[in-house]
């Protein structure tokens, strides 16, 4: 399950950057399609995340919240970019939240444990 979780968020992050540059390049239609696929992947990230949580909810609450924040920021960056609005502060928040959730995910007991 950690492999499915990693696959889901890695794909989502890649498509997030693709959608972002398509919006930037004014290619609205392919950008919208990529953006929709990214949204489906959000559900896969959250679903596999919950499957990993199992029955120890309290222990995982922080990882869950920061993970949801990362997804929220991805969505806010893409929507604001599609409208031609500024995204500087959102990008900073996204990078910080992404690094935090990577660290949390990799420190927790299942899957890879490079920091343990």
Burial 37-51 (b: 16+ CB within 10 A, else e): ebbebbebbbebbee
> Is 110 near ligand HEM (CB under 6 A)?
yes
Residue of minimal Cβ distance to ligand HEM: 111
Region 59-98 residues binding ligand HEM, contact defined as CB under 6 A: 60, 63-64, 67-68, 70-71, 98
Judged by phi (left if over 0) then psi (alpha if -120 to 50, else beta), residue 56 lies in beta
What minimum distance in Å lies between the beta carbon of 74 and ligand HEM? 7
Q: Are 33 and 18 in contact (CB under 8 A)?
A: no
| 109 contacts ligand HEM (rule: CB under 6 A) | yes
Helix orientation angle between 57-82 and 88-107, rounded to the nearest 10 degrees? 150
- Closest CB to ligand HEM among residues 23, 94: 94
50 contacts ligand HEM (rule: CB under 6 A): yes
Q: Cα–Cα distance between 32 and 116 in angstroms, integer?
A: 40
Q: Which residues bind ligand HEM (CB under 6 A)?
A: 2, 5-6, 9, 45-46, 49-50, 52-53, 60, 63-64, 67-68, 70-71, 98, 101-102, 105-106, 108-112
């Amino acid at each position: 399950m950690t492999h499915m979780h990693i696959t889901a968020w890695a794909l989502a992050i890649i498509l997030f950057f693709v959608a972002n540059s398509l919006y930037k390049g004014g290619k609205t239609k392919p950008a919208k399609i990529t953006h929709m696929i990214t949204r489906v992947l959000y559900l896969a990230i959250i679903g596999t995340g919950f499957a990993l949580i199992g029955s120890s909810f309290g222990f995982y609450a922080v990882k869950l919240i920061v993970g949801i924040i990362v997804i929220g920021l991805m969505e806010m960056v893409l929507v604001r970019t599609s409208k031609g609005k500024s995204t500087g502060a959102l990008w900073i928040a996204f990078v910080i939240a992404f690094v935090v959730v990577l660290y949390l995910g990799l420190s927790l007991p299942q899957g890879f444990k490079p920091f343990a």
